[in-house]
Amino acid sequence: MNVTLDGIGFAVPPVSICRQKSSEVAKQLSCSSDQQRRRLEALYRRSGVQSRGSVLLSEAACGTVEQDFFPPAVDHEDRGPTTAVRSQQFADHAPQLAADASRIALDESGLDPSQVTHLVVVTCTGFAAPGVDIELIQRLGLPAQTQRVQVGFMGCHGAINGLRAAQGLLAANENANVLLCCVELCSLHYQYGYDANRIVSGALFADGAAAMVLRRDSQKPSLATLVETGSCLVPDSRDAMTWKVGDHGFEMTLSATVPSLIEAGLVDFLTPWLAKRGHTIESIQGWAVHPGGTRILSAVETSLGLQPEQLATSRSVLSEHGNMSSATMPAVLRQFADRDLPRPWLMLGFGPGLEIEVALLE
């Protein structure tokens, strides 16, 4: 059985914000001294993000970008909107972004929405029931009998977990056609107050959606074939990256040790994993590495002996769109497909655990 990737869709909010403007907003919400403002500005400059989209942004008549969801802090104890208020924004905005990406993927694949048998939704930035899955069935005109799976709260490598679920569904159902959709509204969870870890997160994360259509033994030309996925839990790394539900949004911890943990552990996992599948690090033509930040990309390069140009697409996506969590790696694949980059491709992501996730496409 071959699992073919027949379509990739990518969508971002209609309004984006540049790095300078986003740092100005962050200073208003998070800084109480000139020293903090200088440090925040330096962190934003080093983030590798030049622009990013958010569903919370609007464009004024004069062309300036505005947001009114996060009011200025009234005192140093103010942590902004509650999780319930932020979650309502997810329910209001996520379905449209997810539907936009899904339509693009379906159109490219040539699959009519009525032919979708299974829907896999990936998100870690908002939850509701009925949720995005039900909204997609209704907005796209999927069959009422569409079977659903949600991959929730797994973080930036969630797209690979979604691919693993899709592969299992296709293996178990001979006539299955799977629509996989990743939708993330990371901007909803901006954290007030000055904390270095949270400032870094605030400088990186953004909103976006990506969708993929996967079929079993497709007869049409496909973008790639999904060969296999893999996982590795990095020892002694439990607290290096965390994602928890707080009273005022979801709270991210991103320790400064994450790049060194990746650098130390990645090559020892990936080299034998690839060898069992007939590949080497040198044979991979497209590296779809999740751009969790510039230091993480540099750690991958150092661990695997890659050249900077091999991760140029990941850096480009980070620069243009920010870190959109689970929607980011599919956005890198979209650029590979647009350029008809030779295969094999390797998706490589990192998330709370610290967990390494990998997917091989030929």
Q: Do 182 and 124 touch, CB atoms closer than 8 A?
A: no
Residues 31, 156, 182, 186: which is the catalytic one? 156
217-235 burial, b at 16+ Cβ within 10 Å, e below that, comes to: ebeeebbbbbbbbbebebe
> Residue 221: pLDDT above 90?
no
Q: How many CB atoms sit inside 10 A of residue 102's CB?
A: 30
Provide the residue type at 144 as one letter.
A
pLDDT at 76: 79
156 is catalytic: yes
Q: How many CB atoms sit inside 10 A of residue 160's CB?
A: 29
- How far apart CA 252 and CA 293 sit, in angstroms, is 14
pLDDT at 117: 99
Percent of the chain scoring above 70 in pLDDT: 99
- Domains held by the chain: number: 1
Domain range enclosing 274: 224-361
pLDDT at 360: 99
For the segment 252-261, the average pLDDT, to the nearest whole number, is 94
**CATH number (domain holding residue 248):** 3.40.47.10
Residue 75 lies in a domain: no
Residue 235 lies in a domain: yes
- How far apart CA 185 and CA 126 sit, in angstroms, is 8
Predicted confidence (pLDDT) per residue in 305-324, tens digit: 999 999 999 999 999 999 99
Calculate the average pLDDT of the chain.
Answer: 96
Residue 124 lies in a domain: no
For the segment 322-351, the average pLDDT, to the nearest whole number, is 98
Residue 26 lies in a domain: no
Residue 318 lies in a domain: yes
Q: Residue 205 has what DSSP assignment?
A: B
Strands (E), 269-327: 286-289
> Residue 164: pLDDT above 60?
yes
Reduced to 3 states (helix: H, G, I; strand: E, B; else coil), residue 74 is: coil
Predicted confidence (pLDDT) per residue in 60-96, tens digit: 655 678 898 999 888 878 899 999 999 999 999 999 9
Predicted confidence (pLDDT) per residue in 26-51, tens digit: 999 999 999 999 999 999 999 999 99
Predicted confidence (pLDDT) per residue in 224-255, tens digit: 999 999 999 999 999 999 999 999 999 999 89
